Chains A and B, each alone.
Chain A
């Protein structure tokens, strides 16, 4: 079963509850009307360089990573999101194939504090989970948006306080987005979707990395 088949199952179950369905539709409606996904960085654009803290308290520099090979950058909303959790795990499963294709993987979330280490521990991740503090990198990629009110209320009702998790009151989260960047820093694959229940397929990411490797641009 593909990742998106699995996510579709979670979605089908979740939207049976009306308030979840309405909050879900509020996000998709808002982002679709403003064509937000189509305005994010795309293939051919240069990746903005970043320096971000990882779950172990070290700074990770994108330029250092690119020296070693192609880079997969996965934006996720936080481990409070079931679609993110499943996607992060699927990426961990694909990690040996990503590495074999010459790629490295980092996952960026606006969460801060203990949530990074908790995400790695609970989802069993061995790749870098970075804190995109105040959504700086998400904004540069054009994937950041403000969660609409019905969704904020839904999260608040579930005890999920994004203001506390992020250390700011903006309630900005990224659209789920996955980028593959070649070692020159150019985006070679971009998946950005207003619908947070749909994600890039790990198989697709591996395929892109293998093509880059074959063309001599990945490593």
Chain B
């Protein structure tokens, strides 16, 4: 495929009119028609129905539209990035981070941007996933790194980064310390300290797992401060729920929950179909190209790649 063919197709998909698309692309109509024919040969079928007064996308055209748009926007962004880099333009980035995700997930990428971009302006916010999604769609944030919910707004693109296991945090010397993984049922005899914090998925995951295991452990509510929760656990007032990728807490031991459903997926999201500024474009590329396997909790059986 050539970039100009894709540009012509996107103009046609927008106008559904060969004359107007040719005008929009600043080419003659025969040149546009030829380019589209070539693209159709390469994609193996017609992209448009051409009738006297009606131009419509075919099924193949509809299927290909978002994919061609993605590749086109990426190529355009690549040109803009290279130019902005040469001009030493300011790059801005506003990132939202889910409240139970360690900022360590972001820092290597942010550090790389700080190193490579002469004027890098960064704002980091934290919040509940739903709130971050609203802000991204409103344009108040560029991107977010969140625990992937069951349903994501359609206008957001998502790229899964890694699978993270829920863990139990207990004081050193606790009976769980000798276990490789903690069966949910074993929590029945424990008091579980739960953080009360908007957007925190730990309490929700705990309730879901207890429901499926048919247990109802005693719980204690703690404030939103991680420090308060950790102090209570260290003092022997109970165990708590956390996630495997988070940094170790002094004096506490983390053991994964054995239930295979005790997992969550960490995902980076951004608004779909928008031309990204070069700060965001580079951030997304670095996040997506990164090797997350060191943070990922091992899956039961990795998919085979022949």
Contact = CB atoms under 8 A, between A and B. Distances in A.
Contacts of A35: 38
Contacts of A172: 1, 67, 71
Contact of B291 (A116, A148, A161, A169): A116
Interface string B67-85: 1101111110111011101
A interface, how many residues as a size bin?
35 or more
Contact of B78 (A39, A51, A148): A51
A90 interface: no
A169 B64 CA distance: 10
Interface string B233-257: 0000000000000000000000000
A36 B42 contact: yes
Interface stretch (B17-25, B108-116, B127-135, B170-178): B108-116
A34 B41 contact: yes
Nearest to B296: A114
A159 B38 contact: no
Q: Chain B interface secondary structure, helix, strand, loop or mixed?
A: helix
Nearest to A172: B71
A53 B305 contact: no
Nearest to A171: B67
Given A134-B70, A139-B75, A55 B291 contact: yes
B31 interface: no
A159 B74 contact: no
Contact of A159 (B71, B108, B109, B303): B303
Contact of A133 (B2, B72, B288, B303): B288
A30 B285 contact: no
Interface in A20-39: 30-31, 33-36, 39
A149 B306 CA distance: 19
Given A61-B85, A135-B75, 8 more contacts: A39-B2, A53-B290, A117-B291, A133-B74, A133-B288, A136-B77, A142-B3, A169-B66
